[in-house]
Amino acid sequence: MQRKKPDIDRVFHALGDPSRRAILEKLSQGPISVSKLAEPLQITLAAVVQHLKVLEESGLVQTEKVGRVRTCRLEPAGLSVAAEWIGARRSMWERGLDRLGDLLAEPDEKWREKPPRP
């Protein structure tokens, strides 16, 4: 479909990349500079900076530059967006599973068209 990106979209897209998740793991140990962040990864500093841009735009990471050093840290609120989406789906899920027998037994005109009630 590829529509424009609301917040949730950015967050999940950001989480979808292994390098970015590696960055988040590192950051979960505490704030750190860009170059220290890049060191263990096998990509260039420039690439890390690009990932950081994505992470920052998605609200998962915050950065602040002091002198020539940019320090990065996690933004707890960012992950919450994802956690909440998943949580909501999961609960509907489980409610749905309770009714699973019903839904399988019945035909599925349940949530598409409502036949006229005479």
State the Rg of the chain over Cα.
21
Q: Which of 9, 58, 51 is CA-nearest to residue 26?
A: 51
Interaction of residue 44 with DNA, rule CB under 7 A: yes
Question: Where in 7-46 is the site for a copy of itself (CB under 8 A)?
Answer: 8-9, 12-13, 15-19, 21-22, 24-25, 28-33, 36, 39, 41-43
Q: Are strands 32-33 and 61-66 parallel, antiparallel or unpaired?
A: unpaired
Q: Return d(Cα 41, Cα 19) in angstroms, integer.
A: 8
Contacted by 49, from a copy of itself, DNA, none: CB < 5 to 8 Å by type:
DNA
Helix, coil or strand: residue 33: strand
Which CB, 54 or 79, lies closer to DNA?
A: 54
Interaction of residue 63 with a copy of itself, rule CB under 8 A: no
Q: Return d(Cα 27, Cα 102) in angstroms, integer.
A: 46
Q: Return d(Cα 48, Cα 95) in angstroms, integer.
A: 42
Interface residues with DNA (CB under 7 A) are 1-2, 13, 16-17, 19, 33-36, 42-47, 49-52, 54, 65-70
Interface residues with a copy of itself (CB under 8 A) are 1-3, 5, 8-9, 12-13, 15-19, 21-22, 24-25, 28-33, 36, 39, 41-43, 73-74, 76, 79-80, 82-83, 85-87, 89-90, 92-94, 96-97, 99-100, 103-104, 108, 110-112
